[in-house]
Each structure stands twice: as structure tokens, then as C-alpha cells.
Amino acid sequence: AQKITQTQPGMFVQEKEAVTLDCTYDTSDPSYGLFWYKQPSSGEMIFLIYQGSYDQQNATEGRYSLNFQKARKSANLVISASQLGDSAMYFCAMREAGGGFKTIFGAGTRLFVKA
Amino acid sequence: DAGVTQSPTHLIKTRGQQVTLRCSPKSGHDTVSWYQQALGQGPQFIFQYYEEEERQRGNFPDRFSGHQFPNYSSELNVNALLLGDSALYLCASSLPVRGSTDTQYFGPGTRLTVL
């Protein structure tokens, strides 16, 4: 069964430093997609970055990069040069090609950026 | 470019009542998914609509039903409300790409409180 695990309930980072948010997943489907979303206190889920299971390169989007280690089934989000506005909940999510159209989410990690 | 919109923003109901939540997808998108996010948890998939049909459903009772209109907007209906239905309800839209690669874009959510 597909599953997403985020083991860090909360993380602190100093402004301008880099931070890594952990995500491990479990699936038997060889074709799947991994997503990271940011949820500020306003509630809206903001799409950050996508990684496909067959992608050879780690995905990058501006200050966000995804450290994809397929054999270890991990998809950690790296945020470089943290900003105060990065303080939010971050969710890792997955969709299996054979699982239809359902996306499953982890429990999330709350990131606090300190000035 | 209009993003995903949801109404109302907040809603307070009492147990046993019925509620209807509304969603308009992002411009160019014709697929709508609904998620329930309880406090402190990740979103849980309720169902997805495409071509005015429910094409996949998560583990939610029949009290949860939906509809999609010809203009791709969607409604989520919840009957016989329970205290446990209190949550943030998120709507997400996407392009009709089959498989694991389609990215979902979320609206700001409707916060439902059941008293």
C-alpha cells in the first residue's frame, strides 16, 4: 500500500541558511510521482516541486530542490537561502500510476525560519 | 490567470445538517479533486470528478457526495454532519493527464466547523 512518512513534526532554521525536510515513501508501483506542497497559515496548498520515478535528474525549482534517492525511497526537499516567508507547513505527497487519480499526503513538517 | 477558487471561506453548521461547498477550477483545467484536512493532519482524498462523473473515490462514506457542472466547477455535499466532519476542505484542479504526473493546484479551502 502506498504510504508517505514525514518524521520531522517541526524544524527550525536560521534565515539565509539551507534546510532539508525529510520524506520517505512506500510503493510497489514502478511508476509514480512525488510532490512537495507548502501550506501557509492561510490554508492554501502551494505546489513547489515534482519528481517522477523515472526522472534521472533531481528536480529543481528556484530555491527548492528535491534530493531523490530511489533505492532508499526517499524524496527530501532542500530549501536554500531560507527566508522568513518560508515559515509554513510542508507536505510530501505521492501518486501512483496504477493507483488511479488519488494523491496521498504525509503528515507534514512545520518549518520555522528565525531572523 | 484565475487560480482555483472556493466558497464559502468559513462555515459553521450543527450536527445533522447538510452543507454544500463550491469550487471553480483553475483556468484551462477540467478535473477537480476534493480533500479533507483535519487539524494537524495531511489532506485525505475524498473523490475526483472528470467529465461530470466521479471517477475515483477515497475512503469516505456515502454522506459525502459531489457534482461537476459543464463549466467544470464542482460542489461537495455532506449530509447528516458529524462533529468529526469539522475540517478544512480543499479543492484541487488539474489537467486530465492519466498517470502519476499531473500536478494539482489547490484552492484556499473552506473551513467547516460542526457544532
Interval B90-108: pLDDT, tens: 999 988 665 556 788 999 9
Give B-chain residues touching A99 at CB under 8 angstroms.
100
pLDDT for residue B89: 98
pLDDT at B100: 58
Cα separation, B101 vs A20, whole angstroms: 24
What span, in angstroms and rounded, lies between the C-alpha atoms of B4 and A74? 30
pLDDT tens string B66-93: 999 999 999 999 999 999 999 999 999 9
In degrees and rounded to multiples of 5, residue A84 shows phi and psi of -55, -35
The CA distance from A105 to the nearest CA of chain B, in Å, is: 6
**B56, B105, B109 member nearest A101 (Cβ):** B56
Per-residue pLDDT of chain A (115 residues; tens, 9 = 90+): 679 999 999 999 999 999 999 999 999 999 999 999 999 998 889 999 999 999 999 999 999 999 999 999 999 999 999 999 999 999 999 998 877 788 999 999 999 999 9
Q: In Å, how far is A45's CA from the nearest CA of chain B?
A: 6
CA distances (Å), B102 to each of A2, A16, A84, B65, in order? 18, 32, 30, 24
